[in-house]
């Protein structure tokens, strides 16, 4: 279904449990890569070697966005993404009480998966969803980095490509943190440099 443009649009009709049972994305990812489920409460994607610089908030992801600027390929006006632009590619905020369905209905174009953070304010988030194909999939954990983990895995579970502006960030996570297709993935020199520094 994932590789058929017509059938892939019906995936949530065929498998509606993705929309109401948290944790199914990680289950599919683990089956795809023959990995054991993570321990409860653990951030399985953060290896011991990287745990020193990954903390429990979104700031470490924003550091990656600044260290690994967007690819200029396919962009009309190449340039570095601002922190605000980068964060909106990764996470969109919705105030508690605002209709999630209204947010989904307002999407005018097909976007890559992103996180929808619902809370009373940006610093107080109560629930995260992964938005893909105008559907909101509940995240298993309220922890933002655990949700980034789930967002990354959703690309594999649903066969979607990375957001072009975050390609370097996702390639870094893929090859350095998750160690997927390391030898076969062509990465930006900045990604290769940061990866080498982390692993040495």
For residue range 23-47, list pLDDT tens digits in order: 899 989 988 887 655 443 334 434 3
The residue segments making up the domain with residue 64 are 15-199
Q: Quote the pTM value.
A: 0.81
In a domain, 4, yes or no: no
- Work out the angle at residue 185's Cα, subtended by the Cα atoms of residues 4 and 152, and round it to the nearest 5 degrees: 65
pLDDT tier for residue 126 given thresholds of 50, 70 and 90: very high
Average pLDDT over residues 128-132: 95
Question: Would the pLDDT of 110 be above 90?
Answer: no
In a domain, 5, yes or no: no
In a domain, 8, yes or no: no
Predicted pLDDT of residue 184: 93
Average pLDDT over residues 6-23: 85
In a domain, 19, yes or no: yes
Share of the chain above pLDDT 70, in %: 78
In a domain, 115, yes or no: yes
Number of domains comprising the chain = 1
Which residue matches tokens 């969803």? 129
Question: Would the pLDDT of 54 be above 70?
Answer: no
In a domain, 188, yes or no: yes
Share of the chain above pLDDT 90, in %: 34
Question: Would the pLDDT of 52 be above 70?
Answer: no
In a domain, 1, yes or no: no
175-194, pLDDT tens digit by residue? 988 999 999 999 989 899 98
Average pLDDT over residues 96-108: 94
Alpha helices of the chain — where are they, by DSSP H? 5-8, 11-14, 24-32, 59-67, 83-90, 100-105, 144-157, 167-172, 189-199
C-alpha to C-alpha distance for 50 and 126, rounded to whole angstroms: 26
Predicted pLDDT of residue 73: 53
| Closest to 173 measured CA to CA, from 57, 63, 78, 39 | 63
In a domain, 3, yes or no: no
Predicted pLDDT of residue 87: 74
């Amino acid at each position: 279904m994932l590789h058929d443009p017509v059938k892939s649009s019906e995936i949530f009709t065929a498998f509606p449990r993705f929309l109401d049972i948290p944790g199914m994305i990680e289950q599919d990812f683990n089956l795809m890569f023959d990995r054991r489920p993570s321990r409860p409460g653990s951030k399985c994607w953060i290896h011991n070697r990287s745990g020193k610089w990954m903390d429990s908030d979104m700031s470490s992801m924003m550091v990656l966005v600044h260290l690994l600027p967007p690819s200029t390929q396919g962009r009309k006006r190449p340039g570095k993404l601002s922190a605000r632009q980068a964060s909106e590619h990764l996470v969109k905020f919705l105030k508690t009480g605002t209709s999630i369905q209204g947010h989904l209905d307002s999407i005018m174009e097909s976007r890559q998966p992103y996180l929808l953070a619902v809370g009373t304010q940006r610093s107080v988030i109560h629930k995260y969803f992964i938005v893909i194909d105008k559907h909101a999939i509940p995240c298993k954990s309220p922890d933002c980095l655990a949700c980034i983990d789930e967002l990354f895995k959703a690309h594999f579970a649903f066969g979607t490509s990375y957001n072009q502006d975050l390609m370097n960030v996702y390639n870094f996570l893929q090859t350095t943190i998750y160690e997927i297709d390391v030898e076969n993935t062509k990465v930006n020199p900045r990604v290769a440099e940061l990866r080498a520094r982390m692993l040495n």
